[in-house]
Structure 1
Amino acid sequence: MAQSAQNPSSQQQRVIITNKHGNKLVGILHEAGTKQIVILCHGLRASKEDIIMTQLAAALENAGISSFRFDFTGNGESEGSFEFGNYWREVDDIHSVAQHFHEGNRRVISIVGHSKGANVVLLYASKYNDIKTVANLSGRYDMKAGLEDRLGKDFIERIRKEGFIELKTKSGSVDYRVTEESLKDRLNINMHEECQQIDKECRFLTVHGDADIIIPVGDAFEFAKILPNHKLHIVKGADHVYTDHLTELASIVANFLKETFAKEQG
């Protein structure tokens, strides 16, 4: 089920897709006139309006490739409640989006994810075998890492005692809660094992900044060791959100996907 409204001044359409849980997912289709389409997936606490998502969509549009950037459940304009974990729930969201376009006689040729979204697209590829090109932008290899920086020391003991940890904004208001269940959702994911389930024919691009302090660049090299049919691109000086390297990131991804698009056309 979907609704759309055409904006004649640009090749963008707002599209609403209902996922299997009944939540409406809101996204923007960048229409380049191709049957093939790329799905763009944002990271933790981000949205389809994240500058990485909008830059990627614009670069793909310039390359003549249609794309769809959308808000995961509980993020941006999409329905549902935000959860810290929800990795497999977000895999379901991608599947609902892919099915929607498939039913509309479109072919999803690639899924691209940044940060948490990168992990979600890799998990999608481990569960499904229907999208043959995946771009992992600054994804996390070790899911147990980084939690102390975000949640504080002794976070496991605190969450067991209190049932949750509240993350606050700079102004001191509550941003979101991390529950024991949502923490387990993340800790129970073994990216090494999941990546070994992925079809060997699937093509991968991993991009990572060597100045990333959120997810270390070493994670990219771990993915490179275990993913066959893999291309690794390290962006010198780039941080986790490619602050000064957005144009370079968009160019790397667009060039990689142009190869995929050419193969599809051929």
Structure 2
Amino acid sequence: MDTLLQNASSLFFNSSLSTTPKISRYQVRFSIPPNHKPRTRRRAFTLNMAHTPVTLLAVEQHKVIIPNKHGEKLVGILHESGSREIVILCHGFRSSKESNSLVNLAAALENARMSSFRFDFAGNGESDGSFQYGYYWREAEDLRAVIQHFHESNRGVSAIVGHSKGGGVVLLYASKYHDIKTVVNLSGRYDLKVGIEERLGKDHIERIRKDGFIDVTRSGNFEYRVTLESLMDRLDTNMHEACLQIDKECRVLTVHGSLDKVVPTDDAYEFAKIIPNHKLHIIEGADHSFTNHQDELASVVVNFIKETLHQDRSTAN
């Protein structure tokens, strides 16, 4: 039972990336990989057909736990769409695999019949470890552990996608390891020396040198601690120098919102200047998280990945 086809009135999906696309015809394909194990979770979604709701079991999801090189367990959700290739989705600062952008991108990739894996970096979400400010390179090593896990499972990684801090992480990964041909940077920061004062205050250097740390609070509630070591780790991470090391064969897409108030749009243009094989897409009116532009974000990202996969297959043939 390698492949099961279910047809309903000889219908097929249209090209919409909405979670409830308007369709007239559809076909659902379930591919069962060799030596598959029972899934722990399944995702159902509703399609509108002639104004009559139809619920279909579309894509299987299950939790995967991967140890990093420090022995910490990284927890993620594998969206199994039947493809051998997987897209890895990386969250941003103080976020998790459950962020709207990652969940919506996973759904859009499902519609395009591409498998994906969204996971929590160490110290975030469900993963082991304590939250650390900075540590971009350490998160790049978490990503390395995830990619190696899938390679050892005979799965290919077709693209890595990161939002905000995760955008920086996927670029750092590409600069050090040269095994991924498609990288997507969403709202990533080019100059890591910028944006610190907004969170830590104007006198943060003096305070942290005096006390050894700064506790960040919101509305009087503790959120996280910034140590001198973690602050210096961020300040010493040079995105410019790293991006110069990205292979020219590696295709990089940067997507940024024109109304991003967290990371200025100028950062996106700086990436475009120095990354050799780079495409830039500015979404007009979008904020840092693409709050009201999720459909456009998904369309741009999925189409870019599909184009690069087509290029790779054409070259292989």
Fold conserved (TM > 0.5)? yes
Q: Partners in 1 of 2:294 and 2:261 — Cα distance?
A: 17
Aligned to 1:184: 232
Q: Does 1:85 align with 2:119?
A: no
Residue number in structure 1 paired with 2:40: 6
- CA–CA distance in structure 2, aligned partners of residues 158 and 51 of structure 1: 35
Which of these residues, 202, 208, 211, is aligned with residue 162 of structure 1? 211
Q: 1:112 to 1:228 in 2, by over 3 A?
A: same
1:251 aligns with 2:296: no
**Aligned amino acid, residue 166 of structure 2:** G
Matched with 2:72 is 23
1:146 is aligned to 195
CA shift for structure 1 position 89 = 1.0
What's the secondary structure of 1:215's corresponding residue? coil
Counterpart check, 1:36 vs 2:85 = yes
The alignment's TM-score, normalised by the length of structure 1, stands at: 0.96
Q: Are residue 106 (structure 1) and residue 155 (structure 2) matched?
A: yes
Output aligned runs, 1:202-241, within 5 Å.
202-241=250-289
Greater relative contact order, per chain length (Cα 8 Å cut-off, separation 6+): 1
Please state how far the C-alpha of 1:260 moved relative to its aligned partner.
1.9
Tell me the distance in 2 between the aligned counterparts of 1:212 and 1:201: 29
Q: Shift of the alpha carbon at 1:41?
A: 0.3
State the AA in 2 paired with 1:201.
E
Which amino acid counterpart does residue 37 of structure 1 have in structure 2? I
| Higher helix proportion | 1
Structure 1 residue 84: Cα displacement: 0.6
Assess if the C-alpha contact under 8 Å between 2:247 and 2:276 holds in 1.
Answer: no
Q: CA deviation at 1:228?
A: 1.2
Does the CA-based 8 Å contact 1:210-1:234 persist in structure 2?
yes
1:23 Cα deviation (Å)? 0.5
Q: Are the equivalent residues in 2 in contact too, given 1:30–1:61 (CA < 8 A)? A: yes
Distance 2:109 2:282 in 1: 20
CA-CA distance at 1:162 after TM superposition = 1.1
- Structure 1 unpaired stretches of 5+: none
Q: CA RMSD in A?
A: 1.3
Aligned pairs, number: 263
Aligned to 2:177: 128
* Counterpart secondary structure, 1:167: strand
One-letter amino acid of the counterpart of residue 41, structure 2: N
Partners of 1:4 and 1:15 within 8 A in 2: no
Change in 2 beyond 3 A, CA 1:4/1:228? farther
Which has the higher mean CA deviation after the structures are superposed, 253-262 or 204-213? Answer: 253-262
Equivalent position to 2:96, from 36, 44, 47: 47
Q: Which residue of 1 aligns with 2:32?
A: none
State the shift of 1:7 in Å. 2.5
Contact 1:200 1:229 in 2 (8 A): yes
Unaligned runs of at least 5 residues, structure 2: 1-36, 44-58
| Cα-to-partner distance string for 1:132-189 (whole Å, 9 max, x where unaligned) | 110010000111001111111111111101111111133x221000111000111001
Asked whether the 8 Å contact 1:138–1:206 carries over to 2, the reply is yes
Q: Distance in 2 between matches of 1:11 and 1:248?
A: 25
| AA at the equivalent of 1:113 | G
Give per-residue Cα distances to partners, 1:21-53, cap 9 Å, x unaligned: 100100001111111111000000000000011
TM-score (norm 2): 0.81
Q: Distance in 2 between matches of 1:229 and 1:4?
A: 41
CA distance change for structure 1 residues 16 and 4 in 2, over 3 Å: closer, same or farther? farther
Q: Which amino acid aligns with 1:6?
A: T
Residue 4 of structure 1: how far off its partner (Å)? 8.0
Equivalence for 1:58? 107
Mapped to 1, the partners of 2:255 and 2:77 lie a distance apart of: 24
The CA deviation string for residues 57-110 of structure 1, in whole angstroms up to 9 with x for no partner, is: 111111111110000000000001110112111011000000000011000111
